[in-house]
Structure 1
Amino acid sequence: MASNEVGISGRLRVVRVLSNGKRRYDPVDKDRLIDAALEPGVSIAGLALAHGINANQLQNWIRLRQRRQGSEKASAVAPNIAASAFVEVVEAAAVVCPPEPPSLPSQQKSARIRLKASLPNGVRLELEGADMQALSAMIAALGAL
């Protein structure tokens, strides 16, 4: 592909040279060069050579753009999804317990539940007959892992 097809003639325009010798290129020309490199059948090495940059540098610019575009697509689909400390609950069902003998009024009855979960490392957890307090403690302990 000829350099005039890219819209850039010759070398990329350097807009700034840092004290460590690194160059900053014109972002518009850089984007055009990356667009040209992404065209089918284009030699990235040949294109980089024609514009006075290292082929590895051009390849890094292409990767950076593709990552940026991938993260923009992901954030557009799910903008505020963060990794959760909780594990997915596979099955939760109420357990029917036989009636207990009458107790003192100070004792409070609570619902008993059964919990089954599969952890990402393959461990399976089953908790049966626990009250809400025990379940909360279990979830807090798993969240701390």
Structure 2
Amino acid sequence: MSEQEEGLQGRLVVGSKRDGRRKYDESAKRELIQACLKPGVSIARTAMDHGINPNLVRTWISQYQREQGRAGVAGLANELASQTQANVSEPAPSEEPAFVQVETAALLPAPVKSATTFQLSVLLPNGVHVEVGQTSAEELEAIVQMLERLPCSGSTRG
């Protein structure tokens, strides 16, 4: 084990609770998670080298990845807002299904004139509500493509 890893092991546990469970330093946990997420690194071996149960480290990694996913979705929403002047609000997360049915009122005519404007209102399964008002067909297409790339929150639950 390198000096940096030995230092991490010494900083990781900061105390213990009455029931015997240990308390961990948040910054040291992040370092351990980052070390485990490097390509080719065994999570179980790294955890055991630091005296931590591998299942606990996997739980920390899942939580970390969920947090990163939320931050990525928030960043994408901010990018959407700045590019299309969208109004984005994020209510409290709900237990919505990961897949939602999309209903279309009517198909667009074959050639869409560039002067035509559209409005879009989307409620994502994670509770994010995106409203875009008065946008062109090209901008609307870009927005829909960005929404397609969002991670599915239902499949990332730990």
TM-score normalised by L of structure 2: 0.46
Is the 8 Å Cα contact of residues 49 and 55 (structure 1) preserved in structure 2? yes
Partner SS state of residue 16, structure 1: strand
In 1: Cα distance, 2:51 partner to 2:63 partner: 20
CA deviation after TM superposition for structure 1 residue 50, in Å: 0.9
Q: Give the corresponding residue for 1:32.
A: 31
Residue aligning to 1:80: 89
Cα deviation for residue 70 of structure 1 reads 0.1
| 1:93-133 CA-partner distances (Å, limit 9, x unpaired) | xxxxxxxxxxxxxxxxxxxxxxxxxxxxxxxxxxxxxxxxx
Indicate if the aligned counterparts of 1:14 and 1:24 stay in contact, CA closer than 8 A: yes
Q: Percent of aligned positions with the same letter in both sequences?
A: 38
| Pair 10,76 (structure 1): closer, same or farther in 2 beyond 3 Å | closer
AA in 2 matched with 1:62: I
Which blocks of at least 5 consecutive residues in structure 1 are unaligned?
Answer: 93-145
For 2:6 and 2:66, how far apart are their aligned partners in 1?
Answer: 24
Q: Which has the higher helix share?
A: 2
Structure-1-length-normalised TM-score: 0.50
2:2 & 2:48 partners in 1: Cα distance? Answer: 11
Which residue matches 1:91?
106
Deviation at 1:4, TM superposition (A): 3.1
Count how many residue pairs are aligned between Structure 1 and Structure 2: 90
- Larger gyration radius, structure 1 or structure 2: 1
Could you say which structure has the greater relative contact order, defined with CA pairs below 8 angstroms and 6 or more residues apart? Answer: 2
